[in-house]
Amino acid sequence: MSNKLAKMFRSISLALAAVDVMLFNLSGSALMWMTTSLMPARLLLTPLDFLPPPPQDESPMMIAIAATKSVFVCLKFIRKCVTLFCKKPPNLSELNSIRKCGFLRSLINFETEMPQEVTPYQDEARSKKEQVEQMFDNIAHRYDFLNRLLSLGIDRSWRKRAVRFISEIQPRKILDVATGTGDFAFEALSLKPEKIIGYDISEGMLSYGRKKALESNTAHIVEFIKGDSEKMFFDDNSFDAVTVGFGVRNFEYLEEGLKEIHRVLRPGGRLVILEVSLPHNGLVRFFYDIYFSFILPTVGRLFSRDVRAYSYLPESVRAFPQGHAFNHILANVGFKNVEWTPLTLGTCAMYAAEK
For the residues of 19-71, what is the DSSP string, one character each? HHHHHHHH-SHHHHHHHHHHHHHHHHHGGGGGSPSPPTT--HHHHHHHHHHHH
70 interacts with ligand SAM by CB under 6 A? no
Cβ 150 to ligand SAM shortest distance, Å: 11
Footprint (CB under 6 A) of ligand SAM, residues 188-247: 200-202, 205, 228-230, 245-247
For the residues of 146-203, what is the DSSP string, one character each? HHHHHTTTHHHHHHHHHHHHHHTT--SEEEEET-TTSHHHHHGGGG--SEEEEEES-H
Q: Which is nearer to ligand SAM, 24 or 312 (CB)?
A: 312
Find the binder of ligand SAM among 73, 178, 188, 222 (CB under 6 A): 178
Cα gap 349→203, rounded to integer Å: 27
* Contacts with ligand SAM, 282-321, as mask; x by CB under 6 A: ----------------------------------------
179 interacts with ligand SAM by CB under 6 A? yes
Cis peptide before 89 (omega within 30 of 0): yes
Strand partners, 276: 348
* Contacts with ligand SAM, 139-168, as mask; x by CB under 6 A: --------x---------------------
Q: Which is nearer to ligand SAM, 46 or 243 (CB)?
A: 243
251 interacts with ligand SAM by CB under 6 A? yes
| b/e sequence 97-120, b meaning 16+ C-beta within 10 Å | ebbebbbbbbbbbbbbebbeebbb
Find the binder of ligand SAM among 77, 103, 121, 136 (CB under 6 A): 136
Question: Contact positions toward ligand SAM, by CB under 6 A?
Answer: 129, 132, 136, 147, 178-180, 183-184, 200-202, 205, 228-230, 245-247, 250-251
